[in-house]
């Protein structure tokens, strides 16, 4: 499939469809969106490769003249891709459990190759799902802990990092090495209540809705492009424990939806925003 973005202009849809047809492809799904504020066109085109004139390795090069003509940014993906995925978690187990269960059940097209934590809590859980567990304590040297984590991810050739309530701030260098390949679940409706203890912040503010946000990680804390969000209504009767309990239900669902969208190549980041196709 092709994920593309470019300045909006006439002829894009027709040209892309004709290119697929002329090279023997059959389009099975296509979606597009035009951002009229910025004048940018986005498209996701999924087509069959049976009988196609170009193999996987030559597809991007063959499409290059079209991309150059329209000034496109293009990503080429294949539906059978299963990225090697690492799931990071601290104390809370709910998001980690849900991701492992969905991956095991085949709901998420990813190969979870490791679980890592700054605490020893999840060794048994990871073992239950047959996933290697790595305990990387922070101790007195956070930089060394992150370096060890980075080395582990490189050694295991990890493609995607999932922060399933991993309560550590990653360095800009760590993040820059993995653009749009680290997905975090934050337990608030961003941009409200950034950082630590958002449910306590929400209770102190007296909000009437709480939320959860899944986003790509950038160097700026909890400010990356948002992939998915959801909310639940609350009242003055809900204390911090109530908000936390209800928020956990949101977190697992929002993270799962975001991961599925990413793994199915339905997300197009644009600046600090995303286009998420259905």
Catalytic residue numbers, as ranges? 222
- Integer angstrom CA distances of residue 190 from 150, 187, 223, 230: 27, 9, 8, 10
Q: How much is the CA Rg of the chain, to the nearest whole Å?
A: 21
Q: Report residue 135 as tokens.
A: 């305990």
Cα separation, 146 vs 176, whole angstroms: 14
Q: Report residue 251 as tokens.
A: 């977190």
Question: What is the sign of the dihedral through the CA atoms of 173, 176, 182 and 184?
Answer: positive
Q: What angle do CA 204, 208, 212 make, to 5 degrees?
A: 85
| Pairing between β-strand 26-35 and β-strand 273-276 as defined by DSSP bridges | unpaired
Cα separation, 122 vs 134, whole angstroms: 9
Q: Which residues contact 147 (CB under 8 A, 6 or more apart)?
A: none
Cis bond before residue 278 (omega within 30° of 0): no
Pick from 142, 259, 146, 246: nearest CA to 198: 246
Cα separation, 70 vs 240, whole angstroms: 52
CB 262 within 8 A of CB 225: no
């Amino acid at each position: 499939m092709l994920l593309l973005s470019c300045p909006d202009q006439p002829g894009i849809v027709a040209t892309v469809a004709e290119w697929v047809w002329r090279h023997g492809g059959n389009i099975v799904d296509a979606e597009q969106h035009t951002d009229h504020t910025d004048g940018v066109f986005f498209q996701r085109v999924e087509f069959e490769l049976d009988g196609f004139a170009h193999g996987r390795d030559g597809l991007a090069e063959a499409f290059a003249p079209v991309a150059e003509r329209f000034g496109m940014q293009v990503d080429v993906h294949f539906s059978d891709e299963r990225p090697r995925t690492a799931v990071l978690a601290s104390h809370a187990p709910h998001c980690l459990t849900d991701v492992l269960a969905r991956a095991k059940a085949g709901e998420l097209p990813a190969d979870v190759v490791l679980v890592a934590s700054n605490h020893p809590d999840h060794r048994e859980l990871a073992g239950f799902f047959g996933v290697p567990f790595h305990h990387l304590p922070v101790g007195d040297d956070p930089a060394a802990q992150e370096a060890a984590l980075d080395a582990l991810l490189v050694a295991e050739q990890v493609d995607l990092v999932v922060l399933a309530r991993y309560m550590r701030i990653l360095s800009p260098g760590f993040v820059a090495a993995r653009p749009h390949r680290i997905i975090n679940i934050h337990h608030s409706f961003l941009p409200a209540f950034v950082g630590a203890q958002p449910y306590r912040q929400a209770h102190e503010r007296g909000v009437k809705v709480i939320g959860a946000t899944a986003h790509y990680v950038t160097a700026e804390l909890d400010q990356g492009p948002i992939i998915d969000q959801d909310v639940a209504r609350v009242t003055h009767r809900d204390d911090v424990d109530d908000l936390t309990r209800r928020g956990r239900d949101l977190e697992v669902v929002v993270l799962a939806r975001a991961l599925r969208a990413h793994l199915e190549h339905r997300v197009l980041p644009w600046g600090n925003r995303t286009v998420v196709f259905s």
